Amino acid sequence: MSPDLGHLRDIVVSATIALSHISDHTMESFIVDTKTQDAVLWRLAVIGETANNMTDATRAAIDAPWHQIIGMRHVAIHHYRKLDMTRIWGTVRDRAPDLLVQVNEFLQDIP
């Protein structure tokens, strides 16, 4: 479990930073701000790669959409022309907070 603890902490850090990157943006301002898009995409890629490197047992213990999280990383890195920045915006705004809650609750239960 110890390597996964580091992975989970990386997810918390990256999700928190991604949320901070969009905190002063509307969807419209995010769509035209390529620097913020790049920063958010990097954080989503880190989250997806980290999730992919966690054990199946840890992923199973946390109720999160791991398949979609890992898939978004795959699209961002390998199929970037298919990225929809509106979807990226919504993912960070709507789903990152839930992911943070789920991962933090799991981390709190570890001695």
pLDDT (tens digit per residue) in 46-96: 999 999 999 999 999 999 999 999 999 999 999 888 899 999 999 999 999
Total structural domains within the chain: 1
Going 25 to 47 to 6 to 94, the CA torsion angle's sign is positive
pLDDT at 1 over 60: no
pLDDT, tens digit (0-9, with 9 covering 90-100), for 14-26: 999 999 999 999 9
Residues near 19 by Cβ (< 8 Å), separated by ≥ 6?
A: 92, 93, 96, 97, 100
Whole-number Å distance between alpha carbons of 9 and 37: 23
User: Is the model's pTM score more than 0.75?
Assistant: yes
Answer for the pair 103, 61: CB distance below 8 angstroms, yes or no: no
pLDDT, tens digit (0-9, with 9 covering 90-100), for 32-43: 999 999 999 999
Whole-number Å distance between alpha carbons of 54 and 69: 12
